[in-house]
Chains A and B, each alone.
Chain A
């Protein structure tokens, strides 16, 4: 019993530590974030070496309720912690939106092991659909959002189909080509604003309460971003739950099987077509949702928000955080969004920085900050000692 309590306290402390790390990096300057990232790399490498990291993951896995309550409280109290600073709230909102897209992208990169270079297309289709419907046709933003998710899913099929035929470099080329076509078409079609984009997208309303109004609590005037922060993080939380469950479900295993060897996977009765399309469609649905949130948050979208460099940033999030690992992807999304937003002061060096950071992380930790973990099915105790698990992991890694 005492050990159980001890576990709980440890898990809570770890969760608090993570929250504080997020808070500090949010508040501080770019240099501090970079130092934090460097320390994180060292710490994680150390934990990996000693096997601590597995224990931490087990601990967190056992106390999900407790840790998610802590994370939830952190998000709820964040606006007060930052004293209603709209800049910082904006960063967190964008991080949440990017996180949703990255979780969806992870179904392709982490799941079936194919790099899709066009996640920004899904993201853009979601945003453009709802923007078009709500601005040009006056449809309610909520309905527009649903339409956006549906259309993005459909786009998932369109981009997923070539993926059935092509893998590796060929898929990379196909998705880059489709990404380029998407951007060019947006620019060329006046109905979606052409190069001008779509301004004046209406904001969400809940029972007549516009999410774009300021909030007054405890005598503190908070900017309207607070509403969006909560909305985005509710969706983000749902996405996290959905993604984790998916990866633990039979679909997740099927994805990994396809990643390892499609032919063998097919001989095990996995329908390659449907399982690969599923990963693209689900990823697209996540991205479509995020796109709609983004459109109704900023009130303006244009092709620049959904071009190839945006796709590349999204891929970086997944790879740097750790593909096929939900906490890893979230870490990647949070860290990179913060770095990206704080890089605004050094706009000249922004892309150079991205390139260098990506190369360095690939060289130092090719599997990301928080790499993929060995699957643990349910709560079953496999009777494996830690050493065995490590050996198994080692053997698996050699493949």
Chain B
């Protein structure tokens, strides 16, 4: 479904990604592991179109998306949960959710999705008028997830959902991710440093180091890989 083929990017003269190839199948959950500066976030931005690749191409549903601008990419069915500060702090939770379904014009569908999302996150229904800026860290993460779901995506890109959260909250967040994973319609590309949790939910994984994919394989296999054991677990 998502095919990243031999993509390279640069910031000025500085190469960030080198010849990266990653694929995500329909309904599949894939995680990408990597240390700080490995190029994870750049990879995400490249998929969305905020950074243009200098070489290679990205296909989504067999259509080329690497030359599209961000809003077109999102329109084609990709949702993003940004790493941090992904919300609109002065707007209500309701408005934030509504903005998730930005490209949906059918009011019934929006309502239907809202019902679905609020069944996953029951607390949202009670606090619709609250401003997003007043939420706690974990709640913000949940809200970004909920917002991503509102667009009815085929693929969700999650950028470090565990970043900056207390251990208990991390467990909570990953429980939600598991719930979404069970929905066979949605693929997930998960970028994480918390390898244990990530490999726990994902079926396959890649390891990114200094801009290149150095390892890939099924979660089980990766868990046992010596390098991953040493660096991430």
A residues lining the B interface (CB < 8 Å): 391, 394-395, 398
Contact = CB atoms under 8 A, between A and B. Distances in A.
A398 B13 CA distance: 10
A395 B11 CA distance: 10
A3 to B, nearest CB: 33
A391 B14 CA distance: 11
Nearest to A391: B13
Nearest to B11: A398
A148 B11 CA distance: 51
Q: Is the interface of B mostly helix, strand, loop or mixed?
A: loop
Interface in B11-34: 11-13
Contacts of A394: 12-13
B106 to A, nearest CB: 42
Contacts of A391: 13
Contacts of B12: 394-395, 398
A350 B68 CA distance: 46
7 contacts: A391-B13, A394-B12, A394-B13, A395-B12, A395-B13, A398-B11, A398-B12
A390 to B, nearest CB: 11
Contacts of B11: 398
A391 B12 CA distance: 11
B124 to A, nearest CB: 36
Nearest to A397: B12
A391 to B, nearest CB: 8
A396 B11 CA distance: 13
A106 B11 CA distance: 32
A395 B12 CA distance: 8
A399 to B, nearest CB: 10
Q: Which 3 A-B pairs have the closest CB atoms?
A: A398-B12, A394-B13, A394-B12
A60 B218 CA distance: 64
Interface string B1-19: 0000000000111000000
Contacts of B13: 391, 394-395
A388 to B, nearest CB: 13
Contacts of A395: 12-13
Nearest to A398: B12
A329 to B, nearest CB: 29
A218 to B, nearest CB: 60
B127 to A, nearest CB: 34
A338 to B, nearest CB: 38
A398 B14 CA distance: 11
Nearest to B13: A394
Nearest to A395: B12
A395 B13 CA distance: 9
Contacts of A398: 11-12
A394 B12 CA distance: 9
B54 to A, nearest CB: 16
A394 to B, nearest CB: 7
A391 B13 CA distance: 9
B10 to A, nearest CB: 11
A214 to B, nearest CB: 61
A355 B13 CA distance: 36
A398 B12 CA distance: 8
A133 B13 CA distance: 60
A395 B10 CA distance: 13
B219 to A, nearest CB: 38
B213 to A, nearest CB: 27
A395 B14 CA distance: 9
A107 B12 CA distance: 31
Nearest to B14: A395
A395 to B, nearest CB: 7
A121 B13 CA distance: 45
Nearest to B12: A398
A157 B13 CA distance: 44
A39 to B, nearest CB: 31
A7 to B, nearest CB: 32
A394 B11 CA distance: 12
A132 B13 CA distance: 59
A396 to B, nearest CB: 11
A398 B11 CA distance: 9
B205 to A, nearest CB: 33
B59 to A, nearest CB: 31
B16 to A, nearest CB: 13
B11 to A, nearest CB: 8
A397 to B, nearest CB: 9
A60 to B, nearest CB: 29
A398 B10 CA distance: 13
A352 B222 CA distance: 68
A387 to B, nearest CB: 12
